[in-house]
Structure 1
């Protein structure tokens, strides 16, 4: 089994590896017994049509989490791997820390993750912990290093995202008003990232996530 073998299996299910690392000899207890951790995200733009066509899509609560657990759970069984999900918890698996360990995700100027290929639209459906070591692709530098404009710092209409942190309440309250409806097509700061713009995530998928984020406080 190789990295490319695993990625091919994932891509056949509209997912892909977004990074990974070899588990150190003195791992966090959650990774004890595993040798490779792979961070798994949507294979854009193929992911959204596959999810839309699934039985889970019309579930009233957490449809994408249910889809992920079915699909990634089946892949984990095929690979004799363990699988972790961002929704597991509390306590929750340290996805942010794991993402940084891959060398393909970095902290952006507004302290959200930025990925070498997905930009600030990076998201994870789960993580696969394999019992064998895989040869990993080399780390990639942060795309922020070559981004002189840094539009993520200035695009949020209410400055909810800054180097000092993320004001979640301010963000939600703005989106829930008529003037904030334009943000329902996706976070403007994340979409302003030049790498995000070439990633291929469909607007319908971003709107789905924004609706789930804002929840029932949406104004009519």
Structure 2
């Protein structure tokens, strides 16, 4: 099985390959598997997702349910083993895997940054293969030449590589009139990243994710 053939099928399902690596059980792969590919929304994900039954049925967690269905179907078609970043414990080590691909790094504000989707990176699943697929050469880290607008974009300094993500400050800001922009269009810091444009994240899609995030605010 070729990388190109796998990628073609993945793209047809509204996803993109966000990176991969060769590994073994020491990396969390199942016995006998040699390659892991990490998958995230393609630039055309949102229009694709809006045609799915999960989007239309009005039941909670539509993207997670869609991810579960699509990753299961892809695993069957490609004779692979699927992993999801939710549904645990135990949880698969998605952050460790992401960095191991050489296509995601810790950003100046602490969260992961991806070479094509910037701070809008979102992993919907991963597939492990028994074959040792030929993988593309990882690119350069995008933050090195960047002027780093992400560092000053958040009005309440909720994001910091040194102190982590201050979710309390973030939720408090979202409750104010000034926070409406983040709720309806997406996190200002994530949007400030020049590479985030590659995600093609629409305001509607960002509002969907932000609504779920804000619901998790501690009482």
TM-score, normalization: structure 1? 0.92
* Number of the residue aligned with 1:158: 156
State the 1:95 CA deviation.
0.6
1:54 aligns with 2:52: yes
Corresponding residue of 2:204: 204
Counterpart mapping for 1:103-142 below 5 A:
103-142=102-141
Of 174-183 and 11-20, the range deviating more from structure 2: 174-183
Q: CA deviation at 1:29?
A: 4.5
| Paired position in structure 2 for 1:187 | 187
Distance 1:78 1:30 in 2: 19
Instruction: Tell me how far apart the structure 1 counterparts of residues 108 and 27 of structure 2 sit (CA, whole Å).
Output: 28
CA contact (8 A) 2:80 2:130 kept: yes
Give me the whole-angstrom Cα distance separating, in 2, the residues matched to 1:33 and 1:2.
18
Q: Distance between the aligned counterparts of 1:171 and 1:91, measured in 2?
A: 28
1:96-142 per-residue CA deviation (whole Å, 9 max, x = no partner) reads 11000000111101111111111111111100011111000011121
C-alpha separation between the residues in 2 aligned to 1:102 and 1:195?
18
1:38-61 Cα offsets, whole Å, 9 max, x none, are: 0001111x1101111111113331
Asked if 1 retains the 8 angstrom alpha-carbon contact of 2:35 and 2:131, the reply is yes
Matched, 1:82 2:94: no
Displacement of 1:199 in angstroms is: 3.3
Alpha-carbon separation, structure 1, partners of 2:11 and 2:80: 17
SS in 1 for 2:214: helix
- 1:8-67 deviations in whole A, cap 9, x for unaligned? 00111111101000114x5235533211000001111x1101111111113331110100
| CA-atom RMSD in angstroms | 1.5
Give CA-to-partner distance per residue, 1:131-171, whole Å, 9 cap, x none. 11100001112100110x21111100110001221111211
Alignment correspondent of 1:143:
142
Q: By how many angstroms is 1:176 displaced?
A: 2.6
TM-score normalised by the chain length of structure 2: 0.93
